[in-house]
Structure formats: C-alpha cells, structure tokens
Amino acid sequence: MEMEAAASSPLSLQENQTPQISSPKPFKKSFVASLMEAAALRTPSFKEDTYFISHLKNSEKRALQELKDKLMSAHGPDSMWGIPLLGNADERADVILLKFLRARDFKVQDSLTMLLKCLGWRKEFGADVVLEEELGFKELEGVVAYMHGYDREGHPVCYNAYGIFKDKEMYERVFGNDAKLKKFLRWRVQVLERGIKLLQFKPGGVNSIIQVTDLKDMPKRELREASNHILSLFQDNYPEMVARKIFVNVPWYFSLLYSVFSPFLTQRTKSKFVISKEGNAAETLYKFIRPEDIPIQYGGLSRPNDKLNGPPKPASEFTVKGGEKVNIQIEGIEAGATITWDIVVGGWELEYSAEYVPNAEGSYTVAVEKQRRVAADEEAIHNSYIAGEAGKLVLSVDNTASRKRKVAAYRYIVRKSAASII
C-alpha cells in the first residue's frame, strides 16, 4: 500500500526571531548586468495563436482558402506528417497551412513558395522515414537533444545542450567533416520529428512544442556553422512549431551570441524567447513546467530512468523566502513502513537536514540526514528510511543566511510493511 504526497502541504515556516538584515547599499550596474537586462528587454510577451477558423479575421480566412486553391493548381494533393493537405474540410490540414501562412505574415504567394520548398525538402531529405533510421548517436541521446515530458499546458518539451562539444575530441567525432555534420543534422531532425509526432494538429489542441536550450559551456565559435544550419533548416521547414524558446544558463556574452543568431530568426520567433541567466534555471522553468517533469540537472525531480516506472509522481511546490526556514512534516508513518522522498531547491546554497521523530514519549529523534550545506549545482536529493516505530519525517531547508527567494519541490511515497498489510 502506498500513500503519496497530499494536496495540502505539510509545511511549517520558521523565520529568524530578530533577523539582522542591513539595507543594501546603492550599486552601480555592471556591464554584465546591463547586457543581461538588455537581452531581457528584447523578449516581448508571447500569446499562442488560435487555429479555430471562426477566430480568424476575414482576410486570414480568405488567405487560407487562396493558399489551398494555389496549392491545388501548382502542386496537387500531397500530405505532411501523414495529414492530407487538401483533404475535404480536414481541420488538421488547416492547422498546418495556417502555420505556413503565419510564418509569412499571411502573404499567400510567399506562404505557397515556402510550403512547396518544404514539401520538396521532405521528399529529398526523407523526413517521413527518418524516425525509422538508426543513426548511431547513442552517446548524444538524452544529453544533446531529447524530448522530455510536457509543460503545464501539455506541450511536449525538447531540451538542447551543446556543452558536451567543449571537448575537442567529441566535437571532431561529431562535426569533423561535412559528412559528419550532415549525419548530425539528420539526427537532429529525427529528434524534432519525434516531438512533432506528439502534436495533435487540431484547433484548441496541442500544436507546438517547447524548446529549452542550455547555453552552459556551449562552444559558440566552433558550433556556429552547425547552429546556422539547424536554425535555417528548422525555420524553413517547421514553421510555428515552437510555442516558446527558453534559454537557460545564459552567460553574460549572450547578447553577442544573440546578434549572430538574430539575422536567421523571424520577428515572430524572437517574440517567443524567454531568457534565464546562469543559476536561475529552476526558477524560470517552474513557471512553465511542473518540477516532476523537469530533468534533475535543471532543478527538477525527473531522473533518466523514471519513465520505466510509468507516469511521474506529482510533486508539491513551495517557496523558500530569504531569511526563512521551512520544515516539511510527513506524519502518520507506521512502524515498519518505508518512506521514500525527493526534494530539491533551485540554486540550493542553504542548509538541509532530515530527521525522524517517533510518536512515543521517551523515544529518540533519529538524524536520517545530518544538517549540511547543499551546493548550488547539486541535483535533487533522493532517499528512503524504514521506520522502526510510528512517527513522522521532518525535512528541513534553512535559508536564514540568505536574502534570496528560491523555488522548491518535494514528493514522497510511504509503503507499509507486508506484515501490517496482512
């Protein structure tokens, strides 16, 4: 028998009795801070498009019909992702065609040109069969580019991290010549096609993915050619397939990197950017993705092999304010039961401990995990304890030495002993 984390959070808060916090001194913005602020200012708010025909402007409805007519005249019936583009009143086809129209600001001829080039590219590239291929990049799976979980609105999430190519040997092995680069691009398309397979292509449904790109240790100069190829290929052949692009671990020189990428991006693409500086990955990602769906290296609770155990167990989220200590008390644990928990605080840099407190008077509290300072880059803690007697588990996170607010999450399962079930 299992008991999962309840909806009502068993938290108690302890603040410093007399916090000695002096007012911060006025400071002059550093060059780095100014660049980061400038980058953030270039991130307009994003609103996802509608695919309900009834919500379109009259001019947009006419453009959609005109695109269908021109496609029939110039090319004839065809399909994309298994969906007939000129099917009889097929709303799935309308979703795809609207993506091409929006990518070209509803300019029908430009949209048709883009669509025809994409159809040609898919046939030449073999995009419809790429999922069946074994391309031999096992060492990159789950590291460089991979689909992992969903955001809070149901969009599939694709993670990208190119820091591994800081290693020159790895870089040469993957990008050493044109043939290798071509093979990598094919693999990268394969990853994206996996994400496309998860989309619904229907009005009101999930019609785009989320991309999370980790810029930590990314060798920008060496990857410039590969990055430009990927951006160009995706923008030309997968229009409006990304609902939001989240950049995490963004270094101070991101503005310079952004200026390199910028010419290859449409204004619509730029409007979807979310920029998160180094150390703020968890705080940013929690806004869009539940912690149980976020990989542990980004401050989440999802581990590589969790999928083998079915859907992720839901987590409870909480905030640790500056100058605050939070105690999570998990009560009602019977003798012989095993309690297993996960807990994480974004950007830790605080004290953590776990203790078991028996119910019986005279029993001693057990220090399950002695108090220690958790480093900023530590991943979620996963542990378990077998209760010798009935009592409660108390998880403590002490942020009293900091003034910074931090996001956090935890979950637990209590398994009763076989003897108590009988």
* Length of the chain measured in residues: 422
Find out whether 12 and 326 touch, Cβ atoms under 8 Å.
Answer: yes
Find out whether 387 and 356 touch, Cβ atoms under 8 Å.
Answer: yes
Residue 269 CA to residue 231 CA, distance in Å, equals 11
Q: What is the pLDDT of residue 13?
A: 52
Find out whether 49 and 356 touch, Cβ atoms under 8 Å.
Answer: no
Strands 316-320 and 406-415, bridge-based pairing? antiparallel
Strands 381-386 and 242-250, bridge-based pairing? unpaired
- pTM score, whole prediction: 0.84
Q: What is the pLDDT along the chain (422 residues), one digit of tens a residue?
A: 444 444 345 666 544 322 222 233 333 333 333 334 333 333 445 567 889 999 999 999 999 999 999 999 999 889 999 999 997 778 999 999 999 999 999 999 999 999 999 999 999 999 999 999 999 898 898 899 999 999 999 999 999 999 999 998 999 999 888 999 999 999 999 999 999 999 999 999 999 999 999 989 888 777 878 888 898 999 999 999 999 999 999 887 775 666 677 777 767 667 788 888 888 999 999 999 999 999 999 999 999 877 767 788 999 999 999 999 999 999 999 999 999 999 999 999 999 999 999 999 999 999 999 999 999 999 999 999 999 999 999 999 999 999 999 999 999 999 987 665 55
Q: What is the pLDDT of residue 309?
A: 73
Specify the long-range contacts of residues 359-365, CB closer than 8 Å, at least 24 apart. Answer: 359/389, 359/390, 359/391, 359/392, 360/389, 360/390, 360/391, 363/389, 363/391
Q: What is the pLDDT of residue 269?
A: 66
Q: What is the 3-state secondary structure (H, E, C) of 123-166?
A: HHHCCCCHHHCCCCCHHHECCCEEEEEECCCCCEEEEEECHHHH
**Residue 334 has which token pair?**
């019977």
203: how many CB neighbours lie within 10 A of its CB? Answer: 17
Q: Checking phi first, is residue 72 left (phi over 0); if not, alpha (psi -120 to 50) or beta?
A: alpha
Strands 316-320 and 324-333, bridge-based pairing? unpaired
Residues 6+ apart with CB under 8 A from 337: 386, 387, 414, 415, 416, 417, 420
Radius of gyration of the chain (CA): 25
Using alpha carbons, select from 410, 368, 302 the residue that is nearest to residue 5. Answer: 410
Which residues are registered as beta bridge partners of 358? 391
Q: What is the pLDDT of residue 274?
A: 87
